[in-house]
Structure 1
Amino acid sequence: MSETNNLQLWPAPTANGSLDATVTIPGSKSLSNRYLILAALGSQPVTLVGLLRSRDTELMMGALVSLGVRCDIDPDNETTVTVTPPAGGRFHGNADVYCGLAGTVMRFVPGLALFADGPVHFDGDEQAYARPMKPVLDGLEQLGATVDYHGEIGKLPFTITPPAVLPADHVQVSIDSSGSSQFISGLLLIGSRLSGGLTLQHTGEKTPSLPHIRMTVADVNGAGGHALANEDARVWTVKPGALQLPERVVVEPDLSNAAPFLGAALIAGGTVRVPHWPVETTQPGGLLPGYLERMGAKVVFPEQDGIRYCEVTSDGHIHGLDDFDLTAAGEIAPSLAAILVFADKPTSMIGIGHLRGHETNRLEALVTEIRRIGGVARELPDGIEITPVPRASLHGAVMESYADHRMATFAAMIGLAVSGIQIVNVTTTRKTLPDFVGMWNGMLGE
């Protein structure tokens, strides 16, 4: 359904020459929301520095406040937030949690309801009603919770009633997390709070976005937990114990949000650099530099004044890739797809079938929008195939964002090389990039 009837259009700027820009990326959404959950599960206040302030993190803080957690924002720096857990570690029941369209909120916060003193009602944006939820809720039912659905089974809205008595012994939970790694992460985050701990068995054949699960395991362990992974057997074990993040935690920049900007160097040519790039990271976006190198870019990591940069340089020639497996980093697939529209040969992007269950069906959306501008693409069972056409054959169009931040940035990337692109509801980028338009214009020197 078209959104153009009631939403403003943003004219995506075209690059007038090669780029030479430095772009500072806000904090990681994935880390920000995991840290918020883990801080709430502790017993002492935690100050998060460099926290992403976007719609998703605002929704997460709002959800935690509904459950009795305090989130105090530093008046001198809005990206510094002190999280204070509720007294005694007992979350407030008889509460309403609004998830918006945030996957981490709708799939991580329900686990906290297990430790509430009454029922917790969950709702969200209308578009969120299409997003799968059942695996994590099945897991909570196996832990003794009662789930009452107020619409379609396995979807928002629903109410979780915690058990009168939590399991005392070690519990084994089995779920099929093929639709999202967040189902596994949501249960691993709370496993330490169970008296006997938790063993989680993923029954599906494939595990999407393993790096996100590894991030969760690392963050749980960084908070003093004991989470172990047997990825070959698709089994994770969390031992019981108190969680407590350090008193001060610094959030890394969101490396996946760097993808549109660093990718712009390949489409427009020139150099784009992102500061504060970590030497090591659990973020799937950490794989981005290697992907861009495979497409023909030159990637280096210079240091200046103690700051490490990721610097991407390209002459605008882009290599297509055979059987490009993105199982480990599906969230950057839309940005990579925008680059590959302009490649020198077809690319099959595979391992991303689970993107059909994100903010929108991203595979269908990518194919639709590539065709809308005169490109050639088709869905595969587990991904999409993009067949490039000459740039001169592509034309301007009104491109839909589907209320999906990554589809909006995808369209902006296309607009670098195709004039006349207008984007519906570019403000959806506020989900993870509060000032995307200003950052994009700044990169282009506008």
Structure 2
Amino acid sequence: MSETKHDNLWAAPTPGGPLDATVTIPGSKSLSNRYLILAALGSKPVTLVGLLRSRDTELMMGALRALGVSCEVDPKTDTTVTVTPPAGGLFRGNVDVYCGLAGTVMRFVPGLALFADDAVRFDGDEQAYARPMKPVLDGLEQLGATIEYHGEEGFLPFTVTPPKTLPSADAPAKVSIDSSGSSQFISGLLLVGSRLPGGLELAHTGERTPSLPHIRMTVADVNGAGGHAEADEDARVWRVAHGSLQLSDRVVVEPDLSNAAPFLGAALIAGGRVRVPHWPVETTQPGGLLPGYLESMGARVSFPEEDGVRYCEVVSDGHVHGLGDFDLTAAGEIAPSLAAILVFADAPTNMIGIGHLRGHETNRLAALVAEITRIGGEASELPDGIAITPVPRERLHGAVMETYADHRMATFAAMIGLAVPGVNIVDVQTTRKTLPNFVGMWNELLSR
């Protein structure tokens, strides 16, 4: 992995004893950006309560505003946003959309360009030029759009020109793509399928479907907006019927359960108790699998209720069990947090089913191996994951840890710093992508 210059360093704090903290997690990024897209596809204003305010959601709102959608932030609480779609449902064309490094923006918003009155140009951060885009753009081409690449084919920057006429209403438009690199390619097309005159039938041609819970989340959200989406997961085919979408007038966003992983996982590394409030009873978020994973590593997990608020509580004595072969296909986004815990386990773990993480904000598998090795640990890449072989804690040492402009690599490094003094993190502010106040939250975690 390439390294950046050693500037903007943050010294990761080490606790003086077992933790005892309650941490409130901001709204889910995955749900926030799906709700923003679905609100834009409706016909009436929608107020989103508890919306995550981070770089990714700011980029999404900026993209929608460029397309003629109003996103009005309540001045009394910046987590309440009212979204008003454009009159007539026609999006504004001949505009530029800046995606930053947000996968949900670069892969969800191009579908809206099918319904724009002119071409829409897409660009992003330099690091975003390495993130694959071709499957979703191939899908849009199959629906009649024209794609012009301004750099390497299949990557940002590019222009989407909407078709002069949309596919026939006589039958569902059929699209076949290989979405092995990211579930977002499938989700991006499913979100706009209802707008197609005959609906959409989407086939995934790859052998494996990464992050299937994220696709299930999209299906559930489309149906929650009044659409009719269904999945044949065995055949790897999804169908969305033609129809109008409209979210409820007021939608409350769940806390981001994947962003809870560094905080709840901290209890296993440092020992003690950490609680996260407003934990849902049921959820479509992959992070909902986190409590079970932590329990398998030796934590005691419970869900107490106090004054009508349901908590996820994790208690640990700091002893971590290795997991052997550990299939993380269903929740790859929490792999960096789990990897940080497993560095301190009592036995090796092979985290598998996460080969698609090579195409995230950075190549997360290579990054995890590089950073574990940098502190004196042992890890190696597998064809579909990474192998972590724990070493005695006394063999681990402080280092300047890279983040690769990846928010989850920054939180991974902070977790390592809980048990390894002398960890300094390059550009910890990359966490603003999903946790705008991560440093403050982390310091509070350790101060209680």
State TM-score, norm by structure 1. 0.99
1:391 aligned to which of 393, 400, 420: 393
**CA deviation profile, 1:219-270 (whole Å, cap 9, x unmatched):** 0000000000000000000000000000000000000000000000000000
Aligned to 1:125: 125
2:402 corresponds to:
400
In structure 2, distance between residues paired with 1:168 and 1:46: 30
Residue 413 of structure 1 is matched in structure 2 by: 415
CA distance in 2, matches of 1:292, 1:66: 42
> 1:322 deviation in Å?
1.3
Q: Where does residue 20 of structure 1 map in the other structure?
A: 20
Aligned residue type for 1:105: V
Deviation per CA, 1:354-395: give whole Å up to 9, x if none. 000000000000000000000000000000000000000000
Name the CA distance, whole Å, in 2 between partners of 1:325 and 1:2: 30
Residue equivalent to 1:101: 101
Alpha-carbon separation, structure 1, partners of 2:158 and 2:50: 33
Paired position in structure 2 for 1:268: 270
**Which runs of 5 or more residues in structure 1 are unaligned?**
none
Q: Residue 378 of structure 1 corresponds to which residue in structure 2? A: 380
What is the distance in 1 between the residues matched to 2:295 and 2:235?
Answer: 32
How far is the alpha carbon of 1:4 from its aligned partner?
2.4
2:179 match: 177
- Residue aligned with 1:106, SS: helix
Matched residue type, 1:37? I
Distance 1:326 1:91 in 2: 38
Name the residue aligned to 1:236: 238
1-side partners of 2:444 and 2:168: how far apart?
Answer: 56
Q: Deviation per CA, 1:144-165, whole angstroms, max 9, x where unpaired? A: 0000000000000000000011
Q: Could you tell me how far 1:16 is from its partner in structure 2?
A: 1.2
Displacement of 1:310 after TM fit?
Answer: 0.1
Q: 5 Å matches for 1:59-138? A: 59-138=59-138
What residue number does 2:158 align with? Answer: 158
1:196 is aligned to 198
- The alignment's C-alpha RMSD in Å is 0.6
- Which of 430, 433, 436 is residue 432 of structure 2 equivalent to? 430
1:34 is paired with a residue whose SS is: helix
Give the structure 1 partner of residue 11 of structure 2: 11
The secondary structure found in structure 2 opposite 1:257 is coil
Which amino acid in structure 2 is aligned with residue 416 of structure 1? L
- Partner Cα distance (2:197, 2:379) in 1: 51
Write the distance in 1 (CA, Å) between the matches of 2:96 and 2:38. Answer: 20
Distance 1:95 1:301 in 2: 48
| Alpha-carbon distance, 1:212 to partner | 0.1
CA distance, structure 2, for counterparts of residue 195 and residue 164 of structure 1: 14
Query: Partner amino acid for 1:23?
Result: V
Q: Give, in whole Å, the separation in 1 of the partners of 2:299 and 2:220.
A: 31
1:196-225 CA-partner distances (Å, limit 9, x unpaired) = 000000000000000000000000000000
Q: Please tell me the residue identity of whatever aligns with 1:152.
A: E
Aligned residue identity for 2:52:
L
Letter in 2 for 1:306: G
The superposition leaves residues 333-358 of structure 1 with CA deviations (integer Å, 9 ceiling, x where unpaired) of 00000000000000000000000000
Figure out how many residues of one structure are paired with residues of the other and give that number.
Answer: 445
Cα distance between partner residues in 2 of 1:117 and 1:331: 36
The secondary structure found in structure 1 opposite 2:324 is: coil
Instruction: For residues 27-57 of structure 1, give each alpha carbon's deviation from its aligned partner in whole angstroms, at most 9, with x where no partner exists.
Output: 0000000000000000000000000000000
**What is the alpha-carbon distance in structure 2 between the residues aligned to residue 231 and residue 299 of structure 1?**
31
Structure 1: 4+ residue segments shifted above 2 A = none
Task: Report the secondary structure of 2:447's partner residue.
Answer: coil
Name 2:39's counterpart in structure 1: 39
Secondary structure of 1:308's aligned partner: strand
**2:297 — aligned with what?**
295
2:347 aligned partner: 345
Aligned to 2:141: 141
1:16 partner SS: coil
Alpha-carbon deviation of 1:15?
1.5
Q: What SS class does the counterpart of residue 249 from structure 1 fall into?
A: strand
Structure 2 gap segments, 5+ residues each: none
Query: Cα offset for 1:279?
Result: 0.0
Counterpart-to-counterpart distance in 1, 2:5 and 2:161: 40
For residues 359 and 8 of structure 1, the distance between their equivalents in structure 2, rounded to whole angstroms, comes to: 19
How big is the shift at 1:2?
Answer: 2.1
CA distance in 1, matches of 2:324, 2:344: 15
Within the candidate set 201, 208, 211, 2:210 is matched to 208
Deviation of the 1:328 alpha carbon: 0.2
